Structure 1
Amino acid sequence: MPEMLMLVLAGVAAGGLNAVGGGGTFVALPALVAAGLTPVTANAATTVALVPGAAVSAWVYRREIHPVGGTSLPALTSMSVLGSALGAGLLLVLPSSSFDAAVPWLLAFATVVLAFGRPLARRLGTLDAAGGMSAKAVLLGQFVLCVYGGYFGGAVGILMLALWSIGLGLDAAAGNPMRVAQLAAVFLTATVLFLAGSDVLDDPVPLLTMLGGAVAGGFAGAQWARRLPAWLVRGIVLSTAAAMTVLYFVKGA
């Protein structure tokens, strides 16, 4: 019972974090490892467990999803699906040890970009009257990020906001609905491959327990985030990114 309660609470927290600003993977993954899953299996199971919560959050935000830059929702989602499929395929065939070493640095990069991306972009003159990055550049960046998202998943939503912040000057609160929708696309695509090619269903109890908590957290988090002021959403996103970066550097030390 204590283990099941831990997984439920971790699912609620992970689903809520993903709805508000990202970082849910870094709550769910350690909980599943603590429940006895191997790191690679826990990584895949985390993605599967967070899919329903991400889908629920996207449904809550459905009327607030607006195009990013010059892209359309179908075009951006197509890049998310293709990138996630490639990343999930890599997870199934490659060892994870080398990527584990890169995770703290990727998170540190995302945190710095979120904190300083817009002022830096203005100073460099990248935010011109046309809106910054071209539609093709946004789509290419989305594809690259979603390869990472399909492979690992941690903070991929934070990295999306970082890309849109520095390239388009998009505020975190304004981009959050689209981030949630793309996160759902990434997780759903990777889940299909993980269910077909990994061992996540060999021990379904931890997975299903966390999944139930993530649905509740995803719905509540999305409802809550819609009522928060933009500065507070941005603060939550930055705090989550900074905390996860520190934790992963400490873990790797």
Structure 2
Amino acid sequence: MPVLDILILLAAAFGAGVLNTIAGGGTFLTFPALVLTGVPPVAANATSAVAVFPGYLGGALGFRAELAAFDRARLIRLTLITLAGGIVGSGLLLVSSNEAFSLVVPFLLLAATLAFLFGDRIRIWAAARARSLTPEGAAGLFAVSIYGGYFNGGLGIVLLALFALWGMVDLHRMNGLKTGLSFALSAISVAVFAVAGLVVWPQAVMMMVAATLGGYLGAPIARALPREAVRWLIALIGFGMSAIFFARLMG
């Protein structure tokens, strides 16, 4: 592997670790970097999921108190629904050709960027339309999990909006549930991709190390930077990557 490619992948993974610690959006860096260095789009998506996986584990451990506050049977039911959707979404990626996946990637990146940028408004909008007795819908979580298994970008924002529609109001509990379910979904997706042989392991391993380091160092950076500035920086990265992939599609 050329030294320049290694440097690009390490820098992208490190930046993704920092971004995910601060506000999310690491996929906007890892996936395009893999494609740029010659990894086919489908394999790049699978390898990107593996690269950022340690961050989900760390997040789940960080929210273990919030997760423990949920009824165990309820948490198990939601996790099983998430795992089922993740398997379906990952399976869809397995049968997608690189050409077909390349067609939808720009739209997925753009949708994920918009979801990230307007995530708080989406959550508030959803909460305003919720009813105190709104039941948890298996269909909604299953559909969101399919998306997450297929393409992970913006998953957390969509999950928070879904929880608001369920009538949840405690943001800490919502974030805990979001992180726990995201970890479960990412774990099953990584397992499916690994068994199917989609993961490019040399790139994945080096990016996992860099992303973990970036996640660790992202905490003090998160405290030092204004939240609004970070949000717009990530949005600009997302829009920029969307534009690049739209240009590739049109070219």
* TM-score, normalized by the shorter chain, greater than 0.5: yes
1:1-253 paired onto structure 2 within 5 Å: 1-65=3-67, 72-95=74-97, 96-104=101-109, 106-107=111-112, 110-111=115-116, 114-121=119-126, 126-130=129-133, 133-135=134-136, 137=137, 139-168=138-167, 170=169, 175-201=174-200, 204-221=201-218, 235=228, 239=232, 242-243=235-236, 245-251=238-244, 252-253=246-247
Question: Following the alignment from structure 1 to structure 2, what is the Cα–Cα distance between the partners of residues 64 and 209?
Answer: 32
Alpha-carbon contact 1:110-1:158 (below 8 Å) kept: yes
| CA distance in structure 2 between the aligned counterparts of 1:190 and 1:14, rounded to whole angstroms | 19
Deviations 1:204-250 (A, max 9, x none): 322211011122234455x569x96xxx76x5885477435523542
Aligned-partner Cα distance in 1 for 2:174–2:22: 11
Gaps (5+ residues) in structure 1? none
How many residue pairs get aligned? The number is: 239
Distance 2:241 2:44 in 1: 16
Partners of 2:240 and 2:16 lie apart in 1 by 16
Distance (Å, rounded) in 1 between the aligned partners of 2:106 and 2:162: 22
Distance 2:90 2:23 in 1: 23
Q: Distance in 1 between matches of 2:177 and 2:217?
A: 18
Q: Aligned with 1:176: secondary structure?
A: helix
Counting aligned pairs with the same residue, the percent is 29
When the two structures are superposed, what TM-score results if normalisation uses the length of structure 1?
0.77
Once the two structures are superposed, what CA deviation does each residue of 1:131-157 show, in whole Å capped at 9, x if it has no partner? Answer: xx312x2x3222111111111111212
Contact 1:66/1:178 (8 A) holds in 2: no
Q: Matches of 2:178 and 2:206 in 1, distance apart?
A: 25
More moved, 60-69 vs 146-155: 60-69
Q: CA deviation at 1:97?
A: 3.3
> Structure 1 counterpart of 2:152, which letter?
G
SS of the aligned residue for 2:39 comes to: coil
TM-score, with length taken from structure 2 = 0.77
Q: 1:120 to 1:59 in 2, by over 3 A?
A: closer
Contact 2:148 2:185 in 1 (8 A): yes
More moved, 77-86 vs 236-245:
236-245
Amino acid corresponding to residue 37 of structure 2 in structure 1 = A
User: Could you say if the C-alpha distance between residues 63 and 101 of structure 1 is closer, same or farther in structure 2, counting changes exceeding 3 Å?
Assistant: same
Unaligned 5+ runs, structure 2:
none
Contact 2:123 / 2:160 at 8 angstroms: preserved in 1?
no
Q: Assess, with a 3 A threshold, how the Cα gap between structure 1 residues 31 and 245 changes in structure 2: closer, same or farther.
A: closer
Instruction: Measure, in 2, the Cα distance between the counterparts of 1:76 and 1:129.
Output: 19
Does the C-alpha gap of structure 1 residues 87 and 35 become closer, same or farther in structure 2, counting only changes over 3 Å?
same
